Structure 1
Amino acid sequence: MLHRLASAPPFTRAESLVADFYEDGLPQVALANLRQVCEASGASTATVARFARKLGFADFRALSRALHREALADLDRPGERLARGASMPSAGQHMLDSRFDLALTQVEATCEQLSVPAFERVSMLLQEVERPLVLAAVASGRPLMTYFGTLLRYLRGQVTVLPGTDQWAHAVAGMTSRWVVLAAAFDRDPLPMLPIHALLRFARRRGATTVLITNRPDSPLLRDADHVLVVAAGGDAVFRTRAPLLVLFEALLDAVGSAEPQAVQRAGDIEELFDTLGGYLPRPQD
């Protein structure tokens, strides 16, 4: 949908209201009927019909059916995949091989499609160690983001991994244009994505630089991101792989570590305290 919006002929002022309605509300407005679209956008039924035709659809009904299909394809839940018999091979079908094959396929797909210039731009942002960096994710993405943030602190300071969403407002209070906000968002029901949407919008209003990592090249969050990195997470497995996200995080760590002259000293300071606290095994004496 967002690709069609970007490539459509110029909209009239009234049609732009409909475009804004979809850009701001997707994917949760994918099932909105004609009356709901008109009421929410303030446009007439004739305007909505013209809008649909400018996007290449015969009428609003065709537009609505297409959005419905997109929502079902992109936002299905693990339980729904399990119910329809999604890929969950038995042990006799080499379950381990199947899962590693899926991960490798998606890592290779990400390597092929990921924009190298975009990766380099994001890497350079993370190397600006004088800028506060905020890392955000929800649901299953949070543990991986915490892992990334923990290792990133070996290399640079001023890294904040946002905790539960009830504490986000406290963590980002005082945000300025010097800040960088990096958020990861994957396909799932719209509701858990709303905090990410709100955070990116808040950051843009404060003039901060925003980065989005997503598996959806048509994500409605794209319009709030200055930089976007798209990773693959396909397949019909009940639980889609996050291996490409993990590899991308580790590549970003490599980029920061190779460019930050203070990283060695910082890592040494961290490990010295770990030694003091008994976090590491004693080193053998010469």
Structure 2
Amino acid sequence: MSFDFLPADNEFTRADAQIMEFISAHPNEFLLMNMSQLARQLGVSDATVSRFARHSGFADFKELKRAVMQQQNNQSSPALKMAQTLMKDEGGFGLAGWLSYQQSCLQKTLEHLDEDIFETSVKEILSARHIYIHAKSASASVGQLLMFRLRRLGLPVSMLPSGGSEIWEGLALAGEGDLIIMFSFSKVSREGVMILNQSRESGYKTLAFTSRLYVPAGQRADMNLFVYRGEENEYHSMAAPAAVVDALAVAAARELGPDSVKRLDRLHELKKKY
């Protein structure tokens, strides 16, 4: 990266040049460091790093990081997203601030909740001949959670392979009366496009978790559940998707009524027996 944001007439010391060289060669690592960590990495004092930031025309080290981040913003790398999230809390990362951020994700999800779509999703889950779940990368964890919750209720559910040619083996079995649940938060994956396109021919229904309030017509599932995970350049939270997954399971148990209790009791008895 370049240092176009630094004053051209500044005279930098040997230590300053060392700091600039490190930032230029390792911008993502730099953005994840605090001042003391950078100082230890380079074998200089905290005061030296602080002076470099002021010498460069910034109020403090944090303002320097913001300038570096601004130059990196067009890359949207995982490290950059993490750094952006760490810098949200002026006092530094802490559990209280992080949990407050999770609350804001849940609140924004609640603000855009469509109760009718949610209830329709529950009904489709309960009436499906078989439920297939497609989840890859970060969504794999909530996909597994959803399968676990629905299977405990005695519902017929299985995971589709996350990618590759194996996904066709699962899709070949899906047809009229089945439901495929997919996670396509900020965009629809290549496999997601395949699932949506094939639904028109095979006749199964689709339910998608999405982080977009507007989904283009060609990328919409039959049902789209909105979950807020943070801004595009932030570390993406899974709090809202996990909460909505649990809500689907609880709502399904509500609809099953006494049957859900019988199914859970049977599972409990089997565990005790074996």
Fold agreement, TM-score > 0.5? yes
Give the equivalent residue in structure 2 for 1:259. 255
Q: Which runs of 5+ in 1 are unaligned?
A: 1-71, 278-286
* Matching residue of 1:244: 240
Q: Tell me how many residue pairs correspond in the alignment.
A: 199
Distance 1:272 1:91, change over 3 A: farther
Which residue number in structure 2 is paired with residue 132 of structure 1? 130
CA distance in 1, matches of 2:115, 2:86: 34
| Conservation of the 8 A alpha-carbon contact between 1:197 and 1:221 | no
264, 267, 270: which is aligned to 1:270?
267
Q: What does residue 23 of structure 1 align with? A: none
1:139 deviates by 0.5
Closer, same or farther: CA 220–198 of 1 in aligned 2, 3 Å: farther
Residues 150-208 of structure 1: per-residue CA shift (max 9 Å, x gap): 111111321112233233222232322111111111237x7xx1111111221232111
Other-structure match for 1:114: 113
Deviation (angstroms), 1:76: 3.3
Would you say 1:198 and 2:194 are equivalent positions?
Answer: yes
Q: Single out whichever of 140-149 and 154-163 deviates more from structure 2.
A: 154-163
- Match for 1:122: what amino acid? S
CA distance in 2, matches of 1:272, 1:163: 31
| Rounded Cα–Cα distance in structure 1 between residues aligned with 2:90 and 2:81 | 19
Does the 8 Å CA contact 2:85/2:235 hold for their aligned counterparts? Answer: no
Which one has a bigger Cα radius of gyration? 2
| Equivalent AA in structure 1 for residue 261 of structure 2 | V
For 1:243 and 1:169, the matched residues in 2 are separated by 30
Aligned pairs for 1:22-171 within 5 A: 76-82=76-82, 85-88=83-86, 93-128=92-127, 131-166=129-164, 167-171=166-170
Residue of structure 2 in register with 1:225 after alignment: 221
Question: How big is the shift at 1:223?
Answer: 3.6
Give the Å deviation of 1:113.
Answer: 0.5
Q: Give the CA deviation at 1:245.
A: 0.6
* Secondary structure at 2:152 match in 1: coil
Task: Note if contact 2:196-2:219 (Cα within 8 Å) is conserved in structure 1.
Answer: no
Q: Which string of whole-angstrom CA distances, capped at 9 and with x for unpartnered residues, describes residues 14-35 of structure 1?
A: xxxxxxxxxxxxxxxxxxxxxx
Q: Is the 8 A contact 1:181 1:200 kept in 2?
A: no
Instruction: Structure 2 unaligned segments of length 5 or more: list them.
Output: 1-72
| Residues 186 and 178 of structure 1, relative CA distance in 2, 3 Å threshold | same
- RMSD of equivalent CA atoms: 2.6
Q: Is the 8 A contact 2:176 2:203 kept in 1?
A: yes
Compute the TM-score of the two structures, normalised by the length of structure 1. 0.62
Give the TM-score taking structure 2 as reference length.
Answer: 0.65
- Which one has more relative contact order, counting CA pairs under 8 Å at least 6 apart? 1
Contact residue 145 and residue 245 of structure 2 kept, 8 A: no
